[in-house]
Amino acid sequence: MSSLAAPAIGQEVIHEVGQPRRSYGERSSFEKAGRYFNPGAYGGTGSARTPLQDLYGIITPSALFFERLHAGVPSIDPAQHQLLIDGLVETPLIFSMKDLERMPSVSRVHFIECAGNSGSEQAGEPGDTPQKSHGLVSCAEWTGVPLSTLLKDVGVKTKATWVYAEGADACRLARSIPLEKAMEDIIVAYGQNGEALRPEQGYPLRLVVPGWEGNINIKWLQRLTLIDQPAMTKDEAASYTDLLPNGKARQFTFVMEAKSVITRPAGGQVLDGRGFYEISGLAWSGRGRIQRVQVSVNGGRDWKEADLQKPILTKALTRFRFPWTWDGQETTIASRCQDDTGYWQPTRDELVAVRGLTAGPDGYNHYNGIKWWRVKRTGELTYA
Amino acid sequence: MSSLAAPAIGQEVIHEVGQPRRSYGERSSFEKAGRYFNPGAYGGTGSARTPLQDLYGIITPSALFFERLHAGVPSIDPAQHQLLIDGLVETPLIFSMKDLERMPSVSRVHFIECAGNSGSEQAGEPGDTPQKSHGLVSCAEWTGVPLSTLLKDVGVKTKATWVYAEGADACRLARSIPLEKAMEDIIVAYGQNGEALRPEQGYPLRLVVPGWEGNINIKWLQRLTLIDQPAMTKDEAASYTDLLPNGKARQFTFVMEAKSVITRPAGGQVLDGRGFYEISGLAWSGRGRIQRVQVSVNGGRDWKEADLQKPILTKALTRFRFPWTWDGQETTIASRCQDDTGYWQPTRDELVAVRGLTAGPDGYNHYNGIKWWRVKRTGELTYA
């Protein structure tokens, strides 16, 4: 900021009446933040990463919510869409979107994170921006019917222990979900941040499975079948598993453990000289609420408490903030978080000691190590 | 919902890989909800109402956030934009957007409501949809610098009692704000629902003045001047006042009092026969948190407690829900709310008894009476 002799400012003075009206608004043409598509994927597959470094607060704009696609984004007419619930139930039922919208609803803010988010960090190929390293997590206010309400309507037979959930996309992506979780907090969601789901997030209907890996939050949901053992679909038997050093793979590792990342200042950004900068970032846990976030600005010599944005919501992104005055010297900065189970986000070394470095069929999943950024004397930030 | 003999569903089966990727996503082409522009306004003026009947939860999508315009929407380059703070201060300062983004920030969810929202209800011309009657209120997660932080930086002189705030739009819309409020909870905001402010909400910088009438939440903010008495701008001396039966007008009636409205089912909608419907709507208060919402489904004979979406945030929209089984008979339905000061939303009769029916220069402001919807035997809903 600059001190003023005379109270006058240099910017252009507007004399003309501004833009015409838009029924459905758009962002300013000066704004360029966009999702980043991983290279090498073929049509309809791959992932699009959220530009975390450009975001504020805890809500991810729906236009920038991450995607992980397996057969593209289907175009579904909500007037034709139906949800079938069958299998080990007293009365199989079909629900139209109109049926669902009459039913008792809930709205809750939850993050969704791809199991593979930040997996390249485990591989020793650290992302050079928050978007590239951690951009497969986003957060929204979801609205829909509790899955438990629908299951009560169909009458679950006592033999049932799992729910098979299937999407309407061309690959019929499907996962098995333990009945206990289905009765606990899953939402059959049609709303995202106040309006209908976006196409990339499963329009017109998806599962929101709070705190569990993204892939199980089935998009374009068309079928739920009550079963007595997991269906062992491709995405739970092979993909989304964690290969261990002994050659065995962990399966059904649903929960995304506590993780945090500094999003500003961070890799890809440049500090404008020494002085005050607010350090800001995101923390989350699939087990519940974030309890503490600590920040180090000196390579881990000290860790100090960051301020947490209130209210702190369960299984939602939590924004943290930390005041920092940069002295112009090279250093590394990072955050680490603790959730309300008492669990602390581990270092990469701690994780690698347990999990090894053998990638599974789809790379590394469920990595949640501490992420460091290097601040150079020039003010540039890179991965550390 | 329909019972099934065989578990098969009739909707079209998708075999083709879906849509290509979009860096900045759009909603489904099946979704048509839009803002409603009041007729008769000339270019750059008037208002655009949020389609409350189409919304879920408490977040208003930025693309559907209401507008009340006085000179259109200016196009401002954030790299050129500056905020001047001068007047009764020790050190006048100019802040660039980059300066502001380095400073300590906060994110909070708040509603903004036009003072004139639902004024036509006072006039005896009830809106026939929630959008037309109450669509000049919206809610977002705002991010920015506390105004108190900026005022500490410039050093407010003891003589200062008000802050004059001015926008950069062609009409330089300006208001005076008591210094006490400026030090309490006002945000100099650059973020809305996770990304930059939308142009219609003041891009790149606006005031968010929690709980106070929309007009004072100055958009395209370019100047704050510390003064020792209100500036008596057009929008506080004449417009946005409340003309009383005795010919005097109330000025500086900043706070938007507790109000609620059922948004579904509501005017313009049609029930699909008797049976279960969730009644849902919104409640808010400029004084703090919503404490209770009650719903009547029989013209006011009984009022029963509605369920409130958690967490209940201060000076934010609160979603309420109420289970209802329609018996097919004609009736009227409404909601009423109480905030945490103990104040109950009044009836129209109670308000008119105090305020009369003489419109001010810009119609009726600060109306917050109970809103009734009529349910016809046909299932159609209209104003009551």
Triad A71, A65, B138: Cα angle to 5°? 135
In angstroms, what separates the C-alpha of A347 from chain B's closest C-alpha? 28
Q: List the beta bridge partners of residue A304.
A: A295
- For range A204-213, the mean pLDDT: 98
Distances (CA, A) of A292 to A124, B135, B194, B252: 27, 39, 22, 42
| φ and ψ of A148, to 5 deg | -60, -35
**Local structure of residue A345 (DSSP, 8 states):** P
Residues 6+ apart with CB under 8 A from A347: A369, A370
Residue B213's region, left for phi above 0, alpha for psi from -120 to 50, else beta, is beta
Residues 6+ apart with CB under 8 A from A38: A46, A47, A48, A49
Nearest CA in chain B to A311: B311
- For range B59-81, the mean pLDDT: 95
A278 within 8 A of A63, measured Cβ to Cβ? no
CATH topology of domain B82-250: Sulfite Oxidase; Chain A, domain 2 (3.90.420)
- Say whether pLDDT at A2 is over 50: no
Q: How confident is the model at residue A9 (pLDDT cuts 50, 70, 90)?
A: low
- Residue B383's Cβ-side half-sphere holds a number of Cα atoms within 13 Å equal to 16
pLDDT of residue A22: 87
Choose, out of A3, A12, A13, A27, the residue to mutate when testing the contact with B (most B CBs < 10 Å).
Answer: A27
pLDDT of residue A63: 98
Q: How confident is the model at residue A39 (pLDDT cuts 50, 70, 90)?
A: confident
Choose, out of B2, B3, B4, B11, the residue to mutate when testing the contact with A (most A CBs < 10 Å).
Answer: B11
Q: How confident is the model at residue A21 (pLDDT cuts 50, 70, 90)?
A: confident
Ordered alpha helix ranges (H), A228-373: 234-237, 348-355
A119 within 8 A of A165, measured Cβ to Cβ? no
- Residue-wise pLDDT tens digits, A157-177: 999 999 999 999 999 999 999
Which one-letter amino acid corresponds to residue B57?
G
Candidate from A15, A75, A104 with C-beta closest to B18:
A75
* CATH number assigned to the domain with residue range B259-383, chosen from the 4 options 3.40.640.10, 3.40.50.720, 3.30.1490.100, 2.60.40.650: 2.60.40.650
- Say whether pLDDT at A6 is over 50: no
Residue A142, both tokens: 């979801």
Using only C-alpha atoms, what is the Rg of chain B? 23
- Using a CB-CB cut-off of 8 Å, the residues of chain B touching A194 are 55-61, 64
- Residue-wise pLDDT tens digits, A353-363: 988 888 887 88
- Greater confidence, B18 or B6? B18
- Residue-wise pLDDT tens digits, A226-279: 999 999 999 999 888 888 888 888 899 999 999 999 999 999 999 999 999 999
- Residue-wise pLDDT tens digits, A316-332: 999 999 999 999 999 99
- Using a CB-CB cut-off of 8 Å, the residues of chain B touching A56 are 105, 107, 141, 143, 190-191, 194-195
- Using a CB-CB cut-off of 8 Å, the residues of chain A touching B30 are 77-79, 203-204
- Greater confidence, A8 or A281? A281
Which of B46-50, B217-221, B278-282 shows the lowest per-residue confidence on average (mean pLDDT)?
B46-50
pLDDT of residue A11: 66
Q: How far apart are CA B340 and CA B315, in angstroms?
A: 11
Q: How far apart are CA B248 and CA A329, in angstroms?
A: 64
B150 within 8 A of B85, measured Cβ to Cβ? yes
pLDDT of residue B22: 87
Q: Among residues A352, A139, A183, which one has the least CA distance to residue B59?
A: A139
- Residue-wise pLDDT tens digits, A66-100: 999 888 899 999 999 999 999 999 999 999 999 99
Q: How far apart are CA B200 and CA A263, in angstroms?
A: 27
- Say whether pLDDT at A14 is over 50: yes
Nearest CA in chain A to B106: A309
- Residue-wise pLDDT tens digits, B239-273: 888 888 888 888 999 999 999 999 999 999 999 99
- Say whether pLDDT at B113 is over 70: yes
pLDDT of residue B97: 98
Q: ipTM for the complex?
A: 0.95
Q: What percent of chain B has pLDDT over 70?
A: 96
- Greater confidence, B2 or A383? A383
DSSP A306-318: PEEPSSPPTTS-E
Q: How far apart are CA B152 and CA A111, in angstroms?
A: 36
Which of A173-177, A378-382, B239-243, B285-289 shows the lowest per-residue confidence on average (mean pLDDT)?
B239-243
- Write down the domain spans for chain B: 82-250, 259-383
- Residue-wise pLDDT tens digits, A115-166: 999 999 999 999 999 999 999 999 999 999 999 999 999 999 999 999 999 9
B115 within 8 A of B213, measured Cβ to Cβ? yes
pLDDT of residue B261: 98
In angstroms, what separates the C-alpha of B123 from chain A's closest C-alpha? 27
- Say whether pLDDT at A46 is over 90: no
| φ and ψ of A194, to 5 deg | 90, -20
- For range B69-81, the mean pLDDT: 93
Taking an 8 Å cut-off on Cβ atoms, the answer to whether A63 and B222 are in contact is no
- Say whether pLDDT at B306 is over 70: yes
Which one-letter amino acid corresponds to residue A282?
L
